[in-house]
Every structure is written in structure tokens, then in C-alpha cells.
Structure 1
Amino acid sequence: MKIALIGLPQAGKRTLFTLLTGRAVPESRKPGETIEGVAWVRDPRVDALHGIFQPKKTTYAENNFVLCPDATTGGESYEWLEAARRCHLVCLVVRAFEDDGVYHPAGSVHANRDRENLEAELLLADMELVEKRLERLARESKSGLNPEQGREKEVLDKAMACLEENRCLRELDLTESERATVRSLDLVTFLPVLAVYNVSEEELGTNFGAGAAAVSCQIESEVAAIEEEDERAEFLEALGLQSPGLDRVNAAAYDALGLMSYYTVGEDECRAWTIRKGASAPEAGGVIHTDIEGGFIRAEVMKYDDFIAAGTEAEARNRGHLSTRGRDYIVEDGDIMHFLHSS
């Protein structure tokens, strides 16, 4: 899954990207260039499983972030959106901190205004694409539209009506067939959106509502510079925080994508696997290898809390906490699973 980081100049995108992925953004970065990096989704459950099994390898779930060019408002060009269209989640990085030494392109800091303007640009960008495609179909209709073009026009008309009402296309009730008809346009408002407010230390506890997370890139930079884990924990505690803001951003992105984790455990590896919420047991096995999904027989499942309470896999079995599940089982967040399948 790819997550696009979008925002106005000086909002903190670049710093956030580096903090999340550990990848430095070169000063020689060309205008319009995108950069990709991977961030671990820190998970206390993985840490606990690691402590029990002491495996040779421990693997967290991952988020793939794409640092997009600076956003512009006014509809002059939407080149900065090109990479975001091919992502799975749009993350709007919004400046919410005051600093006279850091300019703001609008001349003043107003976080909700900037968020609304960015969301409006997404709508306008999609409207422009839909309008151009409808104009092309209108020209082609002079010689008659084939059935496929006719279906496309119907869907595009619905999309344009939705956008003109200032509603994102993800709110539009379309069948999978209708979505497939316009998928090639890479319309960005079909994607879920997460707003990340880059705040000052004083605003770390601010609740920005649904679909939003708050982080202070300045504070996170200071946390990242502390080498000792105990010292980092003390620093966070002094700020009234239980975990780094980066963990909250990763978790919020994971949730906005409708994802969850299940686990495989053992002496060789403890690993978090990413699946969509509502996935069946065979689908969950398929993220490990397609052979597991195709040859699925059954899955052995333990609930994370039951396993932790038992302390060992053998004790969990003795307590009756291991169950056998078939093809119709819907995996739950935190399940510990072992798959049996034919080769």
C-alpha cells in the first residue's frame, strides 16, 4: 500500500517523510520529483511476541510513503498530484505551528483553511480530468458511441454531478463494474484521506477530529536524536505522551486504509502480516503465499490476549485457546495463525 504525502511548501512534509522512513531527502531533489520510502508500523504486540519467542527475525508491518512535490492552489497545474493518483491513501500534511522564521505561502498560519483548500484542489483536479474525458466522448459521439463508451459516459456524468456538489467520489455509490469503467483516469478523490497536522509542542494534545492525527515534527526530531530507549521514554512522559507521534501517524494511516494485522510466530520469525479488515482465512494466507490461499485446508487460530495470558503456545493449547477454522472464517485483528494447506 502506498501513501502520498501532500502539502503546501514549508508544511513539514519533507521532515515527516524522513522521520517516518529514515530516508534523507537530498538537497539536489529536482522540482516535481517524488521520493519513496518504507516505514515500519510499530506494534506493541509484535514486541511482546518477540519477547516470548526470542526469534531469529522480527518483522513489523510496513507503510510505503511517497513524498510528493509541493502542492499549489489556484488550479494552474496539477502535476504535483500525478504520483498521488497511483497511491492508496492521500495524507494531507497541514502546518499548524507558528514560527516567524518559517514563511507560509498564504502569509498566515490557518491550519483548517489550508486543509480545506487542499481538499478543494483534489476535487477540482478530478473535475478537470472528468470534464476533459466527457468533452472527448462528446466529440466521438458525433459518429456514435459504442456500448462501452456509453457506459463510461453514464459513470462520468454521475462523477461530475458528485464533484459539482463538492463531494468526493469515494462518497459515490458505484458498483465495482462502474468503478472499473473509470479506473484508468486515476481519480484521486476515490482515495481515503488522512490529515496530519504538524503542530507545536503546546498543541500536541489537540483533537482535530475524525480522519486526522497530530504530530510535532520538531518534537519527533528531538525524540529521534535520543539514542537510549529509556531516555526517549522519559522525554515522551515529560510531554504527557505514551508513544511517539510517528507511531500514531502510522497507525492512523493503517486504519484509514482499512487494514489490520495478524501474526505468525515461532523461533525463526515473529511477523505481522497486513490484510484488509474483513478478510477470510484463505485470503489472509494468500499474503504469505498464493499457494496457501489456493490449497487452503484449515487454519489454527489463537487470540493474542489469550496467548499472552497463557505465556506459551503449549499452555494456550492446554487451556483450549487454540481453535481450528475453515475457509469461511473472518480473520480478526491480532489473531495468531498457522495455516495448513495442500501443495
Structure 2
Amino acid sequence: MALNCGIVGLPNVGKSTIFQALTSAPAEAANYPFCTIEPNVGIVSVADTRLDQITKLIKPSKTIPTVVEFVDIAGLVKGASKGEGLGNQFLGHIRQVNAIIHVVRCFDDGDIVHVHGRIDPTDDIETINIELALADAEVVTKKQQNLPKLMKNQNKDISSKAKAIQPILEKLEAHLSEGLAARIFEMSKDERELVSELNLITMKDVLYLCNVDEDGVSDDNEYVKSVKEFASKEGAQVSVICGKLESEIASLETEEEKSEFLEAAGLEQSGLQVLTKTAYEMLGLRTYFTAGEKEVRAWTFKAGAKAPQAAGVIHTDFERGFIKAEIYHCDDLFALGSEQKVKEAGKFRIEGKEYDVKDGDIIHFRFNV
């Protein structure tokens, strides 16, 4: 399944610099607002040591990791919900992504102009969040205007749904109009299902990404502390990254050079590797593997998926004609050394349609269509 994250924030907070480092793709980075108009898109492999271990043991012809798609969306400004700074165009791009990575400037640099003339991470976050909430409020208003017609529809399912959603939208519109995100609006599971078709921006999961300078990675960065305090109020996640440092790592040609650079900097992983994993896990995504002599491959599935749904990630025919799944866990492969020894140890299982696929399962699907 495809996973894409939109990278948003005010102009000049380091979005394009981070995107370039993340994807090694050419995104224009300049010291003036709106240098990114059309969104840049990059595909990034999700680092997974388990995939590397499986490859060493199975020795396939090729190895294919799972991926995350990152979309670099132009800097939003105050008034974007009303079309300021090409706001309508940018907001349209954000609606298409699964999750939002909100880059927040957490560094001082007199040579890089801040759109507000001062560094205030909390204020920056609220500026973006208010614009996104107001844009969502407009969507909810338009939906409400169509409800009277839908309530009179001869199709009972349509009319009943319209009547059920009306009181929810009234309360949600008031909430959004105050500049508050839909994700912190209290709704039942059924109510969330009713409003899901509106594809509200502020209903999407968000990760606040603090962009710091090389001296600001430590825990005593006051800017980062303020972001974490803000994020805790809405249950959002926070990551810290040094865009400049990540750009230097990305410019190195070999993995050996990158490893040496990280070791010299006292880091086990690059901030971008951590970011990719966090974005993957933020949406409740997990990984299973298929393994054979031709190919070892990682596949993304939603946590809680049954075997047929996980099979459908490979191809809809696999789900439609699902018969059974032959399964063992990668941990058993690592402990025993080969698939044959896994079988001899009784760790190889046959599972049916009701099996809950586990993160790290190695699966061979049987199907017939």
C-alpha cells in the first residue's frame, strides 16, 4: 500500500533542504518565500535491518524494500485559507497526502529571513494550523449547505446519512472556526467514519519536525522544548533533525562514507532514517516479507489486517482467491538459520482467513482465481 507524507511549514523553515537530503532529489532551496510552487515528490526506502538479515540468509537475486513517498509542499502563510500566497493551490496538494510532516524552524540565523521577522516555533505552528483549520471549516460549511437536498433524497441510505451527519458538522464547524484541528475534536468511531469522506486536512496524523542547527540537537534546545509542549496537548509526535547536517550526509557518495560521518558525529542513524521510520509507524503501518531465491521483498500493511487483506497488498487476485498462508516469523529464521530448520523446529505454520498478520512475518500465499 502506498504511504505518502506531505512536508509543510512556513517559508524558509528548511522544508526543501530536508526534502533534498531525504530523497537526494533536486528541490529548489532558496532564501525567499514560495520558491517551491509545484510540489516535489520523492520516494524513500524504509531502512529495515530485518530485510538485510533475511537477504543474507536466503541469498535472493534481488531485494526490494518498502518505501515512503514524501511530497514537498510550498510554504504556507497567514491568509492561505483565503488564497494568500497561492494558498488554495497549496492546500489542494496537502489534501492528497496520508499524513503531514510539519517542519518548524528551531534555530537562529540572521542570514535566513523569517517570514514573521522573529523565531517563535509555537506561533509558527499556530499560524499553519489555523489556516488549515479554517480551510477545513470552509469544506464543512459547503457540505452543510448540501444537506437539505440530500435529506430529501428518495434513497433512504443517502437521506439517513445526511440526517445523521448534520449535528456533527454543526459542532465540527464551530470547532474548526476557532482554528482548532479536527483530529482533537471528540467524535465516536462511527462519527469519524461519517466525516471521513470530507478528507479534512486537520484530521490527518501530524508529526512536528524541529529543524535545528548543528548546536541545537541537544535536549536543552528551548525552541524544541516549546514544540514538544505544544504537541503534547494534541497527542502529536515530535522529531528533531538538523537539515544542514542531513544535507552533508546525503552529499556523500558511498554508504561507508555516510557510516563514518555518522560515527564521527556520535549518531547511530541519520535523522532522516529515524524520520522515515517514524512516519511509517505513525500511521499504524507494519511490514511482512516474502522470501525466495528470486526475490526478498518487504510489504506494507495496516496493523490488524487479516491474511487475505495482507495478501491483497501484493495483488487484488491474491485477496480474492485466497486459500491459505504459509507463515513463519523472521525471528525464527534468524535464530535457526534457514527455512528448512524453521520447518524442522515446528515453527512453520499454515494459517487461514482469520489469521492476524504480525509485523515481521515471512509469508507465502496460496490462492486460486
Q: TM-score, normalised by structure 2?
A: 0.83
Kept after mapping to 1: 8 A contact 2:130/2:180: no
Which amino acid is the alignment partner of residue 173 of structure 1? Answer: M
Shift of 1:54: 2.5
Residue 331 of structure 1 is matched in structure 2 by 357
Alpha-carbon displacement from aligned partner over 1:210-250 (angstroms, at most 9, x marks no partner) = 51111111111111222233332222122221111111111
In 2, are the aligned partners of 1:169 and 1:190 still within 8 Å (CA)? Answer: yes
Q: Give the corresponding residue for 1:24.
A: 26
Q: Which residue of 2 aligns with 1:198?
A: 211
Structure 2 residues without counterparts, runs of 5 or longer:
154-158, 229-235
Residue 108 (structure 1) aligns with? 118
After superposition, give the CA deviation of every residue in 1:156-215 in whole Å (9 maximum; x if it has no partner): 213214435654323442555x55655554321121111111112223244764511111
Query: Deviations for 1:28-57, whole angstroms, at most 9, x for unmatched residues?
Result: 997632222211111111112222223221
Q: In the superposition, relative to structure 1, how do residues 120 and 166 fare at CA in structure 2: closer, same or farther (>3 Å)? A: closer
Equivalence map 1:181-196=2 (5 Å): 182-183=195-196, 185-196=198-209
The aligned residue for residue 72 of structure 1 is: 77
Letter in 1 for 2:172: A
- The aligned counterpart of 1:224 is 250
Match of 1:246 among 261, 272, 292: 272
Alignment-derived partner of residue 92 in structure 1: 102
Provide the secondary structure at the position in 2 that maps to 1:65.
Answer: strand
What does 1:1-343 correspond to in 2, within 5 Å?
Answer: 1-25=3-27, 32-74=37-79, 75-77=81-83, 78-79=87-88, 80-134=90-144, 136-137=145-146, 146=153, 147=159, 149-164=162-177, 167-171=180-184, 172-175=186-189, 182-183=195-196, 185-206=198-219, 209=228, 210-343=236-369
Farther-moved stretch of structure 1 (242-251 vs 321-330) = 321-330
Closer, same or farther: CA 86–30 of 1 in aligned 2, 3 Å? same
Give secondary structure in 2 for the equivalent of 1:287: helix
Kindly provide the CA deviation profile for residues 285-323 of structure 1, in whole angstroms up to 9, marking residues without a partner as x.
111111211121221221221111111111121222212
Deviating more after overlay: 263-272 vs 144-153: 144-153
Alpha carbons 1:137, 1:153 under 8 Å: kept: no
Contact 1:307/1:321 (8 A) holds in 2? no
Q: Secondary structure at the match of 2:17?
A: helix
3-state secondary structure, aligned to 2:366 = strand
Q: Aligned partners of 2:9, 2:343: CA distance in 1, in Å?
A: 50
CA deviations on 1:7-26 (whole Å, 9 max, x unpaired) are: 11111111222222222125
* Separation (CA, whole Å) in 2 of partners of 1:334 and 1:273: 10
5+ residue gaps, structure 1 = none
TM (normalized to structure 1)? Answer: 0.89
In structure 2, relative to structure 1, the CA distance for the partners of 1:118 and 1:153 (3 Å cut) is: same
- Contact residue 236 and residue 242 of structure 1 kept, 8 A: yes
Larger displacement relative to structure 2 (276-285 or 165-174): 165-174
2:232 corresponds to which residue?
A: none
CA distance in 1, matches of 2:272, 2:101: 13
Q: Secondary structure at the match of 2:18?
A: helix
